[in-house]
Copies of this chain bind each other. A is one copy, B any other.
Amino acid sequence: MDMDKARELLENVKYGDVSIEQALEDLRDLPFKDLGYAKIDNHRELRVGYPEVIYCESKTPEQIKGIVEFMLAKGSNILGTRASEQAYKLVKEICPKAEYNKEARTITIKNKEAETTSTYIAIVTAGTSDIPVAEEAAITAEIFGNRVERIYDVGVAGIHRLFDKIEIIREAKIIIVAAGMEGALASVLGGLVDKPVIAVPTSVGYGANFGGLSALLCMLNSCASGISVVNIDNGFGAGYLASMINKL
């Protein structure tokens, strides 16, 4: 439609129905969206084939079902994060191949098989309680077409566990570390590897962890280089960013 307006304008110029001065004026008045929108957003074109993502936290199961229904029509893969089991059940009704990961609280629908990267993302957790956040990252990375290696429960309180797995971590292209409590694993790993580390503080802990603040501050102040941080419990954000870097 917008393009139609532009075309009409050009035709009018071509056939002399509109003076150039007038056309310039009109061009300036063309609703911003008509040209600008496409322009601004054309980087999004590159993302074609990307899965659609639904952040389910504050949506009702019915709303989620509705959004999925709409997306299914487009045939893309779908990822729902922070989804309740109840929401999953509703989605399942309209899409039997939908899968639910209870720990990560994700709904995934794979409509087409994405090619998987040869390089991989290592996803590392300090404890078992950090696994839900790590799984959210892992499932995100996977549905975006990345190979993922999970290395869980290798926190610094028993550092040999980490050394035992260090080779597989070092060979990753990028590393995600999910850790709660004092979040020291990010710093230790940062010193052991020569790859970018995305640190995800988790809210695991109690008392003076203040809902993940301790791990967050720890990671931001890491004395090791090559570490950056996402929001507390933001497994999706870490997985998405890691995917972006893994595909560079």
Contact = CB atoms under 8 A, between A and B. Distances in A.
Q: Is the interface of A mostly helix, strand, loop or mixed?
A: helix
A124 to B, nearest CB: 14
Contacts of A234: 206-207
A39 B46 contact: no
A221 B14 CA distance: 50
A14 B41 CA distance: 29
Interface string A171-196: 00110000001111001101111111
A94 interface: no
A225 B223 CA distance: 23
Nearest to A33: B164
Nearest to A39: B32
Interface stretch (A69-77, A85-93, A237-245): A237-245
A87 B14 CA distance: 57
By size class, the interface of chain A is 35 or more
A16 interface: yes
Interface of A: 3, 6-7, 10-11, 13-14, 16, 20, 23-24, 27-28, 30-33, 35-41, 43-44, 46-47, 57-59, 126-129, 155-160, 163-164, 166-167, 170, 173-174, 181-184, 187-188, 190-196, 198, 201, 203-234, 236-238, 240-241, 244-245, 248
A240 B220 contact: no
Nearest to A190: B157
9 contacts: A32-B164, A47-B194, A126-B223, A182-B217, A195-B244, A206-B233, A207-B232, A218-B218, A228-B228
Given A58-B204, A164-B33, A207-B231, A223 B43 contact: no
B248 A173 contact: yes
